Amino acid sequence: MAWFVTSTGKPPAVPLRPAALLRRVLLTPVLPPPRPRRLLRLYAGLYLYGLGSALLIAADLGAMPWDVLHQGLARWTGLSVGTCSIMVGALLMLVWIPLRQRPGLGTLSNVVVVGLSVDASLWWLPEAGHLAVRAGYLVAGVLVTAVATACYIGARLGPGPRDGLMTGLAARGLSVRRARTGIEIAVVLTGVLLGGTLGVGTVVFALAIGPLAQVLLPLFDVGPPPAARP
């Protein structure tokens, strides 16, 4: 969740129009305490998320659902996977406006840092030629991504752009489960049609990431700001 205040120190009394909301989000973010821990966990989590994505891509056994789309876009545009990730994240931020979702520092950072981390990690990761190495990359990618998810969500500085799309649709009447399932099916199918890699890694990631993140989140959650505690 992101935290924002007006000049009087109180939330706005009336709903803001999309343009005004976007200006307020970009110009008046307030970082809740404890600041160093939140920032450390946020950026460590975002970097590790990109590394986990790169491990799954390098394994060539099936990428995570959104990266299937990013791979497909990369093959059609000639851009890097990380660049396509940044472009998709930025477009999703525009979709947030009619959905009235409020981004935070973590949301804006997610768009850029994860994409940069994917490209950097793919550059230095050794090529996984043997099947055993590829399987190791797959397992490591899922585990690293689970830790990363717990880190950046535990920082409580705003959801990722893809998470916000899910919660925005859920706020319009869809259940979270249906919103997430529908989005990811559409993303994977589009990515496969564009040439992205769908495989056992995609299935393993989809089945394992939720339970692993649920176990790890309490270990990395810095808790709500003092003012939000009962």
Q: What are the tens digits of pLDDT across the range 165-216?
A: 877 887 777 777 788 788 889 999 999 999 999 999 999 999 999 899 889 9
Respond yes or no on whether the N-terminal peptide bond of residue 211 is cis (omega within 30° of 0). no
Cβ–Cβ < 8 Å for 54, 71: no
pLDDT digits (tens, 9 = 90+) for 40-85: 999 999 999 999 999 999 999 999 999 999 999 999 999 999 999 9
Who has greater pLDDT, 32 or 95? 95
DSSP state of 126: P
pLDDT digits (tens, 9 = 90+) for 76-132: 999 999 999 999 999 999 988 888 888 889 999 999 999 999 999 999 999 998 999
Q: Which residue has the tokens 């969740």?
A: 1
Coil, strand or helix at 80:
coil
Coil, strand or helix at 29:
strand
pTM of structure: 0.82
Distance CA 221, CA 223 (A): 5
Cβ–Cβ < 8 Å for 220, 40: no
pLDDT confidence of residue 79: 97
Cα-to-chain-centroid distance, residue 7: 30
Distance CA 215, CA 213 (A): 5
Distance CA 156, CA 102 (A): 13
DSSP state of 226: G
